[in-house]
Each structure stands twice: as structure tokens, then as C-alpha cells.
Structure 1
């Protein structure tokens, strides 16, 4: 009689170990993908800091799959830390969020742009009343 609870406990333990190994393998794939995306976009991946943030079920091509969200930190110029995220289903990248590079353009690029107006007032057309048009 005590063999059945022991067998159930063993199966639960094996399932936990299997899930942990699968998530570890998924994290390694996420680190590789984050490295590749950072290299492609000219960013530095900081501290190999890719970590699992969330899991969710998502319908993809008519089937339900487990999507993993990983967060990491990147640097644009070596002096900053910006958040990044990537979403993966199995081995494929399904989403990517990186900091905007345009907000960190060097000052040289700003010289070629039109300067912003000196004030923040937007001139409006004068509003004409109906009775003033008749005169």
C-alpha cells in the first residue's frame, strides 16, 4: 500500500526536475538570443542578466503554446542601464522590446535637426463669430 504514494511522489519530483531543466535550457536560448539582438542593434548586454519574468499561454497558428518573457539590461553607450525584454515560444523569438536609440542620439546629430521653438505657445487662428461675418 505504501508503494503508490512513493510512486506518486517520485513522479511529481521527476516532473519538477524536468520542468526546471526545460526552463534552464530556455534561459540559455534566451541569453543567446539577447546577445544576438544586442549585437545586431549596437547595444551592450549587461551582466548576462537575462532572467525569466513571466509565463503565459498564447495561441499561435491554431495551437496553444507556453510563451516565456525574459528581461535583461542593456547599455547604449556604456554609461547607462536600460531595460529590454524578449518573448519566446520554444526556440523561436516572438517579441522584442529594446530601448529607443533615437532618444540617445549624440549631440552631433542634433545640429542637423531643426531647433525647437523658443516657447511652447502654439498660435491659433482668430475665432470669428457668426454675427461678425455678416457685417
Structure 2
């Protein structure tokens, strides 16, 4: 009886070790894909690493497959940190999510200190009307 228990324990440890190796290899592949995505989209991969965030069984191309979700941080201009995601199957990239680069930064809302304190009246319309109504 103890030989069977020892054999089962050994098989479970072997399966856990093989699973860990598969996930470790998948993480290396995800890090390489994240680097390629960052180069292609003009982003900087921060910390040069990805972290496993989810494991899901999903149907992909009619077959049940394991989808691994990885998270990593990127920078658009070197001064910020944006979260990004990458989903992979055994066949390769299943999907990704990167921050978008906008052409302009939004203007901050005016505060009491930046608003003009005096009342400004636009006189251009009044001047234009008075020039047209002159008779000389």
C-alpha cells in the first residue's frame, strides 16, 4: 500500500514540476512577444518582465485550449507607467491590450487662480457694426 502512495506522490510531484516548467517557458515567450509588441507600437517595456495573471480554458478555433493572461507595464514617453495585457495560447498570441497614444494632452480645467479676475467684453462686433453705420 505504501508503494502505491509513494508512486502517486512521485507522479503528482512530477506533474507539478512539468506544469511549472510549461508555465515558465510560456512566461519567457510572453516576455519576448511583449518586447516585440512594444517595439512595433513605439512603447517602452518597463521592468523587462511580464506576470501571469490568469489561466482559462476557452474554445479557440473549435478546440478547447488553455489561455494564459499576462500583465506588464509600458511607458509611452518615458515619464509614465501604463498597464498592458497579453493573452497567449500554445499556438501564439491570442490577443493584447496596449495603451493608446493620443496626439495631444488634455488641457487642465481652469481653477479660480487661473481664471481672469476682470470681466472681459469682446468689442470687435460692436466696432464692426459702428464702422458700417457711419455715413462719411
Identify the TM-score tier after normalising by the shorter chain.
0.7 to 0.9
Is the Cα contact below 8 Å between 1:73 and 1:82 reproduced in 2?
Answer: yes
Alignment match, 2:55: 55
* Counterpart mapping for 1:116-131 below 5 A: none
Q: How far apart are the structure 1 equivalents of 2:104 and 2:91?
A: 36
> 3-state DSSP class of the match of 2:20?
helix
Give 1:91 shift: 4.0
Q: What TM-score does the superposition give when structure 2 sets the normalisation length?
A: 0.75
In structure 2, how many angstroms separate the alpha carbons of the residues matched to 1:91 and 1:19? 17
Give unpaired runs (5+ residues) of structure 2: 107-136
The residue number in structure 2 matching 1:15 is 15
Q: Could you tell me whether the CA contact under 8 Å between 1:72 and 1:83 is conserved in 2?
A: yes
Q: Name the residue aligned to 2:122.
A: none
- Tell me, in whole angstroms, the C-alpha distance in 2 between the residues paired with 1:36 and 1:52: 18
Q: Which runs of 5 or more structure 1 residues have no equivalent in the other structure?
A: 111-135
The two structures have a TM-score, normalised by structure 1, of 0.75
In our comparison, the structure showing a higher alpha carbon Rg is 2
Q: Residue 44 of structure 2 corresponds to which residue in structure 1? A: 44
CA–CA distance in structure 2, aligned partners of residues 90 and 84 of structure 1:
20
SS in 1 for 2:15: helix
**CA positional deviation for 1:90:** 0.8
Which runs of at least 4 in structure 1 moved beyond 3 Å after TM superposition? none
Deviations 1:43-101 (A, max 9, x none): 00000130000010110121100000000000001000000000000141010100011
**Residue 96 of structure 1: aligned partner:** 96
Structure 2 Cα separation of the partners of residues 99 and 17 of structure 1: 35
